[in-house]
């Protein structure tokens, strides 16, 4: 696995923190921001967007992925995720199961890096495979 440069990690965390401010979470009050690095070098942003009916809500991570794919990118390197109650990150926030499944669609689980952060000084980097062991992906459909 190719490690991200420290300046890339810092940039992704900074952008994720900015996206946290754009979160629309009037029901849970749990705001999340994400910054997704495409293999092209482009960064796609996301925040969680809630809905009164709950089911139509969308997580920050999926928002970023869907923006990236809608812009023509289908290969990604890393994502930074920050979040917390009322937009105050106190603990690391991991992606939900649905977001992990979306990541598995577009990312190599052993290469894709997930940066969990509370601020620029406090973060942890892990792989999608560590967060989603034995996940189901496109390769599983071609197995006989």
Q: What are the residue numbers of the active site? A: 61
Burial of 23 (0-12, 13-18, 19+ CB in 10 A): buried
Residues paired with 113 in a beta bridge? 78, 127
DSSP code string of the chain: -PPPPHHHHHHHHHHHHHHHTT-B-TTT-EEEEEEEEETTS-EEEEE-B--TTSTT-B-HHHHHHHHHHHTT---EEEEEEEEEETT---S--PPPHHHHHHHHHHS-TTT-EEEEESSSSSEEEEEHHHHSTT---HHHHT--
């Amino acid at each position: 696995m190719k490690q991200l440069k420290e300046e890339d990690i810092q940039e992704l965390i900074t952008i994720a923190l900015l996206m946290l401010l754009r979160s629309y979470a009037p029901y849970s009050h749990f705001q999340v921001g994400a910054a997704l690095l495409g293999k092209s070098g482009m960064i796609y942003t996301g925040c969680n967007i809630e809905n009164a009916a709950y089911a139509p809500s969308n997580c920050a991570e999926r928002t970023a992925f869907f923006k990236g794919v809608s812009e023509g990118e289908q290969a990604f390197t890393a994502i930074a995720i920050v979040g917390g109650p009322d937009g105050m990150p106190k603990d690391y926030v991991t992606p939900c199961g649905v977001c992990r499944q979306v990541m598995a669609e577009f990312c190599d689980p052993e290469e894709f890096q997930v940066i969990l952060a509370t601020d620029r000084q406090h973060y942890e980097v892990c792989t999608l495979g560590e967060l989603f062991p034995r996940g189901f992906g496109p390769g599983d459909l071609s197995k006989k």
